[in-house]
Amino acid sequence: MAIFTSLSPNTEKDDLWLAWQTLFKPWQWQKGQAVLELENYFKNWLPASYAFTFSSGRAGLYAILQAIGITDGDEVLLQAYTCVVVPNPIIWLGARPIYVDCQDDFTMSVEDLEKKITAKSKAIIMQHTFGCPSQVEAIMALAKRHNLLVIEDCAHCLGGHYQGQALGAFGDVSFFSFGRDKIISSVFGGMVATNNLALAEKIAKLQNNLSYPSYGWIYRQLAHPLVLFFVKKTYNILSFGKILAAAIKQLGLISRAVSLAERQGGKPSFAGQKMSNGLAVFALHQLKKIDRLNEHRQKIAAVYDRELAGLAGAQLPQFRSDNIFLRYTICLNKAKFLIKQAKSKGIELGCWYDWPVAPRDTNLDKVFYTLGSCPMAEKLAEESVNLPTNIQVSEKDALEAAKVVKEIINI
């Protein structure tokens, strides 16, 4: 079978069985006990005083921005080399995303952050990209000096730590993603965590006023792991799986991670919705397996570290015990060539992020990004290639992927 970075990478047999069973219980799809169970489990596990589920990480971020009172004319600082779903909620509230350049570990440059703070700045979104902790102390100190709130974007780093403390417990408030390609997955899903009572009360009120996603939407998410299992199994059989995947996407039978409207700064319906019980069942099931999933990622990253050391023209991530490696991202100027060649050899590498505000067809004008404004982020976007670290990739697969990468680069 081919090796995949994406396409439902966390799904194991028990998850498939759970999806199958849940599909036949539509009366449990919207309301149920699993949402509360997930919130309680999560806050004890992180730990945090308060935790609130949402239909996605971006919906959680939208609620946070409303709770902290972001409005017309405010500025929110975030790093470039991110996904369009992060600046979008800022824009929906009439505020401006201000993009800060990165450093070469894909997280925010503190030097550039300092330059971009103005009298209109209200908050900083601190993104721990690919599971690599940001410059936590420096960013927190700068925020304190300028009286700015810090929102931790933990979409990539669930279960990650920095100097012994959980990522997500440093800022004023944090959000996590249970999206399809994240650390754990319920296809769509998100969590907001905070220790601040006043903020928690506002977020609880916002959450309470939201509606549930429709049955059709929940059905598409429940079907997702099952459909993709079939796609992957048939991927190399006369290209059947590849054609099937393209057809399914076109027909809208499963959802896109980022809708076409969002790539133009638009707001999807689920951005203002609760987490559904059916998907909470999944997220909870996966959260209970998280240590194994993350230990596996670190083990696979160590294989790449060893096998790719000295790869001509490539920059490997620094191996830090704090990094949980959602994906193992290398940078090299033959990135596009490598991704294309590897695909022809049955290895689907990833391209996060291939645009300073990804995906590649995001309309940068609509999200207020000016090309040239964050040169390091733009360079990383041209040069990034992700190798898979997920639970479906064995050490043998990782050795094979590293071998193929070396062969292609040394052509």
- In the complex with ligand PLP, the residue whose CB is nearer, 76 or 409, is 76
- In the complex with ligand PLP, the residue whose CB is nearer, 293 or 404, is 293
Per the CB < 8 A criterion, the answer to whether 309 and 402 are in contact is no
Q: How far is the CB of 396 from ligand PLP (least distance, A)?
A: 29
H-run or E-run covering 160: none
Give the DSSP per-residue string, 186-220.
Answer: -SS-EEEEES-HHHHHHHHHHHHTPBPPPHHHHHH
Give the three-class secondary structure for 384: strand
- In the complex with ligand PLP, the residue whose CB is nearer, 8 or 56, is 56
Token pair of 19 as six digits: 């999806």
Per the CB < 8 A criterion, the answer to whether 176 and 54 are in contact is no
Would you tell me which residues interact with ligand PLP (CB under 6 A)?
56-58, 82-83, 85-86, 127, 153, 155-156, 177, 179, 190
- In the complex with ligand PLP, the residue whose CB is nearer, 241 or 265, is 265
Identify residue 57 by its one-letter amino acid code.
Answer: G
Give the DSSP per-residue string, 73-117.
Answer: T-EEEEESSEETTTHHHHHHTT-EEEEE-B-TTSSB-HHHHHHH-
Identify residue 277 by its one-letter amino acid code.
Answer: N
Q: Parallel, antiparallel, or unpaired: how do β-strands 190-194 and 173-177 relate?
A: antiparallel
Q: How far is the CB of 58 from ligand PLP (least distance, A)?
A: 3
Q: How far is the CB of 54 from ligand PLP (least distance, A)?
A: 8
Q: How far is the CB of 330 from ligand PLP (least distance, A)?
A: 18
- In the complex with ligand PLP, the residue whose CB is nearer, 82 or 386, is 82
Q: How far is the CB of 358 from ligand PLP (least distance, A)?
A: 8
- In the complex with ligand PLP, the residue whose CB is nearer, 18 or 279, is 279
Q: How far is the CB of 254 from ligand PLP (least distance, A)?
A: 15
Per the CB < 8 A criterion, the answer to whether 388 and 381 are in contact is no
∠ CA 9-310-182, nearest 5°, is 15
- In the complex with ligand PLP, the residue whose CB is nearer, 98 or 404, is 98
Contacts of 106 (CB under 8 A, 6+ apart): 81, 129, 130, 132, 329, 380, 384
- In the complex with ligand PLP, the residue whose CB is nearer, 43 or 156, is 156
Q: How far is the CB of 60 from ligand PLP (least distance, A)?
A: 8
Q: How far is the CB of 362 from ligand PLP (least distance, A)?
A: 12
C-alpha dist (Å) from residue 10 to 14, 95, 166, 203, 348 = 11, 35, 22, 29, 15
Chain residue at closest Cβ approach to ligand PLP: 57
